[in-house]
């Protein structure tokens, strides 16, 4: 098994690499911003990318690419089932409410005049 890891100086990349090296797990660094990213991942069984939720470029690319890779049979982090709410507080609020999970009081409003606590 070989894991592709998006190369980055931020996020979990460094820890993932350390874990792979400490546990004899084969990995290779990937550059998702290159046109040949799918070819880079051909010999990988899995792919991990701690994409930056504050980056519009990352969000647009990650959701599409991770979904395509997962449909091709690769294991991805975050997965299709995690990526839709990955670092998205609104989606997480809706998810936690939908499954009746405990959460801190959370308020959502789209118009200032409609905002009321409680």
Q: Which of these, 14, 1, 19, lies nearest to 29 by C-alpha position?
A: 14
Instruction: Please give the tally of structural domains in the chain.
Output: 1
Task: Identify the CATH number of the domain in which residue 28 sits.
Answer: 3.40.50.20
Examine residue 101 and state whether it is found in any structural domain, yes or no.
no
* Rounded-to-integer distance, Cα 11 and Cα 111, Å: 34
Examine residue 31 and state whether it is found in any structural domain, yes or no.
yes
Helix (H) or strand (E) holding 19: helix 13-22
* Rounded-to-integer distance, Cα 94 and Cα 78, Å: 19
Residue 98: the pLDDT is 96
**pLDDT tens digits, one per residue of 68-108:** 999 999 999 999 888 888 778 888 999 999 999 999 888 88
Domain enclosing residue 23, as ranges? 2-84
DSSP string of 22-90?
Answer: HTT-EEEEE-TTSTTHHHHTTT-SEEE----TT-HHHHHHHHHHHHHHHHTT-EEES-HHHHTTTT-HH
Q: Is the pLDDT of residue 117 over 80?
A: no
Residue 118: the pLDDT is 56
Examine residue 51 and state whether it is found in any structural domain, yes or no.
yes
Residue 53: the pLDDT is 80
Within 13 Å and on the Cβ side, how many CA atoms surround 39? Answer: 4
Examine residue 90 and state whether it is found in any structural domain, yes or no.
no
Ranges 6-10, 25-29, 84-88, 101-105, most confident: 25-29
Strands 75-77 and 46-48: parallel
Q: Is the pLDDT of residue 62 over 70?
A: yes
Say what the pTM is: 0.80
Examine residue 28 and state whether it is found in any structural domain, yes or no.
yes
Examine residue 11 and state whether it is found in any structural domain, yes or no.
yes
Examine residue 21 and state whether it is found in any structural domain, yes or no.
yes
């Amino acid at each position: 098994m070989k894991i592709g890891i998006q190369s980055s100086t931020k996020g979990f990349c460094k820890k993932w690499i350390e874990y792979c090296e400490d546990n004899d797990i084969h990995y290779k660094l990937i550059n998702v911003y290159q046109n040949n990213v799918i070819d880079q991942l051909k010999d990988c069984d899995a792919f991990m990318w701690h994409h930056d939720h504050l980056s519009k470029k990352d969000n647009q690319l990650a959701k599409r690419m991770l979904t395509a890779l997962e449909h091709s049979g690769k294991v991805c982090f975050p997965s299709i089932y995690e990526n839709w709410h990955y670092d998205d507080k609104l989606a997480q609020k809706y998810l936690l409410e939908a499954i009746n999970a405990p959460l801190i009081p959370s308020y959502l409003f789209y118009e200032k005049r409609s905002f009321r606590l409680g």
